[in-house]
């Protein structure tokens, strides 16, 4: 063998030896690492308890930060919340084939206008929204397209799980979650505060009561072909609103038309002449001032002429009436003569104390001022005494009636549960801790008398259709002609009933109103407060009474029956 061949063979052997030595190190390290893993797995499986680790993982409290705070009813039922709702946007400069891209988008979102989307894809702008509030399925399909110019932006959508229920109280937000009405707008500082993300806003509303009120009003509205309806349930001791309904209403989850009729909250927005419900205030102020006594008799034998005006009674008795009879039989003549005895100045001061000259107090925007007489002379004083010539909102009437029956304290209405920790003072709302802290408008003695008179008006007056066995309902009907083009219309009327139960220990005020109801055969073609609105209140009371824990009682004596000639 040649020396050259020996040299080559030696070189190969040396190279193989070097390679073998280099492989030994990584192989050794690999075997060592694998051995460590095996030892560790065996150690965990045989000697360590992983239950503590599992508990630790599950006990972590993840704080979810929402764009807006949840709104709950008084019992914790969700009324407004936020849900993930991604938006589809586009960066037009990253789109290479607009025609192909738009075809793919329309295939996923067929409700979109193709030309509109195409124009956005070809736009010279940097960023444009194509569609908001995508469903999870739509998000998956858009992602599957794989176009870099399409962007799925994470966002939240405000959702109202109850639909139309309580829509006028809640209000709504726009596409950018900016509040436009209701408590959404009034408490926006609280609801949009990220620090309070997990601190829901508790309203005073009870969704069970709200549902019943809406259902009964809707039934009556359809039955009497009424133009609109409104209803309130209020706690007389706290001012808490358990239900507030205005019909027609709207769904905050759908398309909103701000100027549409269904957007009006008739409980606070539109003042009405409330009719005979105002006689409650007239009799209360006269008794409280000492100008009249319950046993006094008022001359209602003939219509009352004042200047060029003549005041009639709808259900004339044509005789002298006791004060309980004036109220029970709803005598316009009697109320006018009582107001004359009281005097204009005292009447105005009393109604002002009741809040009848200012906007109603509640945590909502869009509240209307009452419409007062331009000139408050003798005839105006008399018509105001029976609820004509002065227009107030339903909430004015409800708050005033609550003060008359709760012992004489004017407690402002509130939509916030009283035991919540919301700082209402920062929103300009009073936050007295006890009912005795609120201003007194009549004496407790007068309040007690008025409870019995209101009970008599249901037992023997026009409010009989509001009776509910065992619940001692009291109240007053109201029927007022609407002003159309500056003239009272005999065909277009507002009919209402404001009631309280139970009258021996008042807990709740119930208000029901129908706008322009039409008489039907079952009511002998009458659509007054007694025939149209009082039955609605009765139905509401019969359903919510047991729910709210009001125990029925029988044989509760009503005073002053001896001052009423029932059959005459």
**Cis-peptide, bond into residue 300, ω within 30° of zero:** no
Q: Tokens 């065996």 appear where? A: 42
Element (H, E) at 480: strand 474-484
Q: Pick the catalytic residue: 276, 447, 496, 542?
A: 276
Length of the chain (residues): 568
Backbone angles phi, psi at 145, to 5 degrees: -65, -40
Cα 215 to Cα 559: distance, rounded to the nearest angstrom: 35
Q: Give dist(CA 476, CA 37) in Å, integer.
A: 86
Backbone angles phi, psi at 331, to 5 degrees: -80, 115
Strands (E), 263-370: 297-300, 304-306, 309-311, 319-322
Cα-Cα-Cα-Cα torsion 272, 275, 279, 282, nearest 10 degrees, comes to 50
The backbone region for 468, taken as left when phi is positive above 0, alpha when psi lies in -120 to 50, beta otherwise, is beta
3-state secondary structure of 133: coil
**Six token digits for residue 267:** 């409980």
Residue 489 to residue 137: CA distance in whole angstroms:
56
Distance CA 448, CA 438 (A): 18
- Of 496, 491, 482, 502, the closest CA to residue 548 belongs to 502
Half-sphere exposure of 561 (CA within 13 A, CB side): 10
Going by C-alpha positions, the residue among 546, 517, 513 that lies closest to residue 232 is: 513
276 in catalytic set: yes
∠ CA 48-52-57 to the nearest 5 degrees? 125
Sign of the dihedral defined by the CA atoms of residues 355, 359, 361, 362, in that order: positive
**Residues acting as catalytic residues:** 276
């Amino acid at each position: 063998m040649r020396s050259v061949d020996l040299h080559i063979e030696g070189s190969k052997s040396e190279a193989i030896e070097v390679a073998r030595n280099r492989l030994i190190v990584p192989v050794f390290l690999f075997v060592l690492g694998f051995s460590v893993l095996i030892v560790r797995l065996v150690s965990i499986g045989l000697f360590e308890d992983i239950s503590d680790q599992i508990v630790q993982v599950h006990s972590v409290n993840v704080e979810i930060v929402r764009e807006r705070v949840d709104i709950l009813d008084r019992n914790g039922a969700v009324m407004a919340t936020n849900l993930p709702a991604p938006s589809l946007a586009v960066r037009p400069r990253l789109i290479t084939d607009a025609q192909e891209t738009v075809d793919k988008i329309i295939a996923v979102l067929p409700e979109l206008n193709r030309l509109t989307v195409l124009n956005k894809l070809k736009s010279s702008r940097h960023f444009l929204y194509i569609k908001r509030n995508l469903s999870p399925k739509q998000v998956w399909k858009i992602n599957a397209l794989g176009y870099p110019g399409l962007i799925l932006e994470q966002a939240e959508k405000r959702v109202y799980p109850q639909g139309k229920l309580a829509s006028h109280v809640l209000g709504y937000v726009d596409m950018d979650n900016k509040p436009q009405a209701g408590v959404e707008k009034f408490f926006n500082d609280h609801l949009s505060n990220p620090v309070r993300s997990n601190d829901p806003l508790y309203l005073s509303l009870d969704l069970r009561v709200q549902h019943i009120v809406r259902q009964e009003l809707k039934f009556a509205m359809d039955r009497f072909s009424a133009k609109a309806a409104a209803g309130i349930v209020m706690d007389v001791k706290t001012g808490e609103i358990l239900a507030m309904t205005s019909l027609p209403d709207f769904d905050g989850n759908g398309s909103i038309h701000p100027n549409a009729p269904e957007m009006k909250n008739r409980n606070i927005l539109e003042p009405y002449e409330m009719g005979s419900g105002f006689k409650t205030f007239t009799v209360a102020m006269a008794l409280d001032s000492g100008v009249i006594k319950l046993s006094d008799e008022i001359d209602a034998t003939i219509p009352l002429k004042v200047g060029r005006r003549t005041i009639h009674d709808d259900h004339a008795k044509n005789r002298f009436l006791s004060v309980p009879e004036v109220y029970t039989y709803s005598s316009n003549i009697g109320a006018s003569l009582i107001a004359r005895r009281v005097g204009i100045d005292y009447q105005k001061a009393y109604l002002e104390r009741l809040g009848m000259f200012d906007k109603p107090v509640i945590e909502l925007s869009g509240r209307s001022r009452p419409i007062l007489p331009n000139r408050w002379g003798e005839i105006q004083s008399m018509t105001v005494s029976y609820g004509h010539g002065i227009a107030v909102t339903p909430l004015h009437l409800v708050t005033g009636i609550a003060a008359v029956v709760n012992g004489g304290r004017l407690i402002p209405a509130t939509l916030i549960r009283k035991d919540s920790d919301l700082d209402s003072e920062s929103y300009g709302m009073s936050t007295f801790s006890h009912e005795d802290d609120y201003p007194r408008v009549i004496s407790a003695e007068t309040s007690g008398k008025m409870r019995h008179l209101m009970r008599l008006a249901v037992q023997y007056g026009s409010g009989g259709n509001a009776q509910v066995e065992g619940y001692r309902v009291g109240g007053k009907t109201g029927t007022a002609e609407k002003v159309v083009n500056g003239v009272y219309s005999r065909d277009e009327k507002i009919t209402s009933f404001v009631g309280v139960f139970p009258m021996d220990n008042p807990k709740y005020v119930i208000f029901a109103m129908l706008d322009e109801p039409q008489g039907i055969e079952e009511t002998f073609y009458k659509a007054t407060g007694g025939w149209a609105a009082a039955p609605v209140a009765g139905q509401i009371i019969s359903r919510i009474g047991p729910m709210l824990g009001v125990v029925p009682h029988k044989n509760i004596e009503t005073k002053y029956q001896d001052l009423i000639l029932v059959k005459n």
